[in-house]
């Protein structure tokens, strides 16, 4: 239950942050009607997400969809930052001049809000809808519907509900924020997100061959790409800090002596309402962080590596059948040299015609070894996560590449090539 809860909660929180801040900002600048276009975008995304989930379950287009969403998201996020800055400046100018703020919105504002929230909905709602597919990969589900399965689904639904609750409290917490503070916060969040999207877009250009994947380029890009998930934690830290600052920011009541009792009670109620939603926002987010933290600790318990199969060369070559690698899992092998040194290496199928063939070691952490978590390869010593698509590229904590050859049915590794790192494993 906790695993699927964390799976949907993370995506729900990210969607809540990126959309909730936007809705809160729009409320703050007194353009409430504009939010209807944002809500429409999220609602429309439900249909597209359902269609996309069906397509992803039946077609191999996940990488293409990820690249498209990265490019479109980067473009829309940059446009939204410009729009937010302009709207904040426009609002501040009118309030400074004590002009009545016009409620009508331009066609451009309506379109950009709809498209941006449509993009957010498609990206995150699709990932949330895919959580049952993640569950079906568990051996537990082969026995059909049972109590464990019910708990798993309950956890996934609870994660979504917590995300919705946090989005609501985040919008309400804007009551205590100034328009300038709201604008600065959302631009900072979107700027960090645009950096993440930029990395994913650049990687997409490499995957599609528009940029040549040289070892030097990959060695610099791999650490950024492999740690792309850390951007989520950066967003969470910023939101936590901003909510605490907002909560403890001193705000005194105006002089109520000159007002009638009804107006005084209304102002006091509004003041208490601001404090309540600020506290609620902090409490909900801290509870979500606690759940994610517990899941992280549980998921990162001591991992036993897949045992290495002792193997010997044939005519100076190690021959590994491609059929063995069809499960797209790590297959670890070992060879004991004449000096009694044990060299370990592993192979994994990455895509239809691409394989990862590497030593079970890296330049940074030595021979600690790696284990697999879904489509990620994780260093046992430092917990650095690598997408399996980057295996065979040098740099960072990536496994050391091992030269190999391929024929119709087998992967061939030359003994002389393997022995190039004999001294490394002797340390």
Q: Which tens digit of pLDDT belongs to each residue from 284-334?
A: 888 988 888 887 777 666 666 778 889 898 888 999 998 988 888 889 999
Per-residue confidence (pLDDT) for residue 42, from 0 to 100: 93
- Which residue is it, tokens 């060879």? 335
Q: pLDDT digit string (tens) for 253-281? A: 555 556 667 766 776 777 787 788 888 88
| Cα-to-chain-centroid distance, residue 202 | 16
What CATH number has the domain spanning 309-426? 2.102.10
**Over the Cα atoms of the chain, what is R_g?**
26
Strand order in the sheet with 342-351: 309-310, 331-336, 342-351, 354-359
- 345: exposed, middle or buried (Cβ count in 10 Å: 0-12, 13-18, 19+): buried
Name the token pair of 57: 């379950």
Cβ atoms of 162 and 261 within 8 Å: the answer is no
Regions in the chain scoring below 50 on pLDDT: 136-143
Name the token pair of 191: 């700027």
- Rounded Cα distance between 392 and 398, Å, is 8
For the chain, the structural domain boundaries read 2-299, 309-426
Per-residue confidence (pLDDT) for residue 255, from 0 to 100: 56
Cβ atoms of 355 and 400 within 8 Å: the answer is no
Cβ atoms of 159 and 16 within 8 Å: the answer is no
Closest CA to 309 of 280, 345, 356, 339: 345
∠ Cα 100 103 106 (to 5°): 125
Q: pLDDT digit string (tens) for 100-137? A: 555 556 888 899 999 999 999 999 988 888 777 665 44
- Rounded Cα distance between 26 and 108, Å, is 15
Per-residue confidence (pLDDT) for residue 300, from 0 to 100: 63
360: Cβ contacts below 8 Å, ≥ 6 apart: 308, 332, 344, 345, 346, 367, 369, 370, 399
Torsion of CA 200, 202, 206, 208, to 10 degrees: 70
Per-residue confidence (pLDDT) for residue 20, from 0 to 100: 92
1: Cβ contacts below 8 Å, ≥ 6 apart: 151, 152, 154, 155
Q: What is the 3-state secondary structure (H, E, C) of the chain?
A: CHHHHHHHHHHHHHHHHHHHHHHHHHHHCCCHHHHHHHHHHHHHHHHHHHHHHHHHHHCCCHHHHHHHHHHHHHHHHHHHHHHHHHHHHHHHHHHHCCCCCCCCCCHHHHHHHHHHHHHHHHHHHHHHHCHHHHHHCCHHHHHCCCHHHHHHHHHHHHHHHHHHHHHHHHHHHHHHCCHHHHHHHHHHHHHHHHHHHHHHHHHHHHHCCCCCCCHHHHHHHHHHHHCCCHHHHHHHHHHHHHHHHHHHCCCCCCCCCCCCHHHHHHHHHHHHHHHHHHHHHHHHHHHHHHHHHHHHHHHCCCCCCCCCEECCCECCEEEEEHHHHHHCCCEEEEEECCCCCEEEEEEEEEECCEEEEEECCECCCECCCEEEECCEEEECCCCCEEEHHHCCCCCCCCCCECCCEECCCEEEEEHHHHHHHHHHHHC
């Amino acid at each position: 239950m906790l695993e699927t809860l964390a799976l949907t909660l993370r995506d729900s929180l990210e969607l809540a942050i990126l959309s909730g801040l936007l809705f809160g900002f729009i409320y703050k600048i007194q353009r409430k009607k504009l939010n209807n276009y944002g809500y429409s975008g999220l609602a429309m995304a439900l249909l597209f997400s359902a269609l996309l989930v069906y397509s992803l379950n039946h077609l191999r287009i996940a990488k293409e969809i990820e690249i498209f969403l990265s490019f479109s998201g980067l473009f829309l996020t940059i446009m939204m930052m410009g729009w937010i800055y302009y709207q904040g400046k426009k609002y501040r100018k009118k309030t400074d001049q004590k002009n009545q703020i016009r409620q009508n919105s331009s066609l451009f504002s309506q379109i950009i809000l709809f498209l941006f929230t449509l993009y957010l909905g498609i990206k995150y709602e699709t990932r949330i809808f895919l959580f049952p597919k993640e569950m079906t990969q568990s051996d537990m589900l082969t026995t059909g519907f049972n109590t464990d399965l019910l708990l798993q689904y309950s956890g996934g639904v609870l994660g979504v509900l917590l995300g919705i609750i946090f989005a609501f409290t985040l919008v309400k917490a804007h009551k205590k924020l100034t328009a300038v503070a709201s604008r600065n916060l959302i631009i900072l969040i979107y700027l960090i997100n645009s950096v993440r999207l930029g990395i994913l877009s650049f990687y997409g250009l490499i995957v599609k061959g528009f940029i040549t994947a040289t070892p030097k380029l990959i060695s610099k890009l791999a650490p950024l790409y492999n740690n792309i998930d850390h951007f989520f934690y950066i967003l969470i830290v910023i939101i936590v800090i901003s909510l605490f600052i907002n909560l403890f920011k001193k705000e005194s009541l105006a002089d109520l002596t000159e007002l009638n009792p009804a107006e005084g009670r209304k102002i006091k109620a509004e003041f208490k309402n601001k404090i309540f939603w600020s506290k609620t926002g902090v409490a909900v987010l801290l509870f979500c962080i606690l759940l994610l933290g517990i899941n992280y600790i549980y998921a990162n318990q001591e991992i036993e590596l897949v045992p290495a199969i002792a193997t010997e060369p044939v005519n100076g070559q190690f021959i590994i059948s491609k059929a063995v690698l069809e499960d797209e899992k790590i297959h670890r092998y070992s060879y004991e040299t004449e000096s009694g040194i044990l060299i370990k290496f592993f192979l994994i199928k990455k895509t239809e015609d691409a394989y990862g063939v590497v030593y079970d070691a890296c330049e940074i952490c030595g021979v600690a070894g790696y284990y697999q978590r879904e489509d990620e390869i994780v260093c046992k010593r430092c917990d650095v996560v690598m997408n399996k698509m980057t295996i065979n590229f040098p740099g960072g904590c990536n496994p050391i590449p091992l030269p190999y050859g391929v024929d119709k049915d087998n992967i061939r590794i030359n003994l002389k090539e393997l022995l190039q790192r004999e001294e490394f494993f002797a340390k």
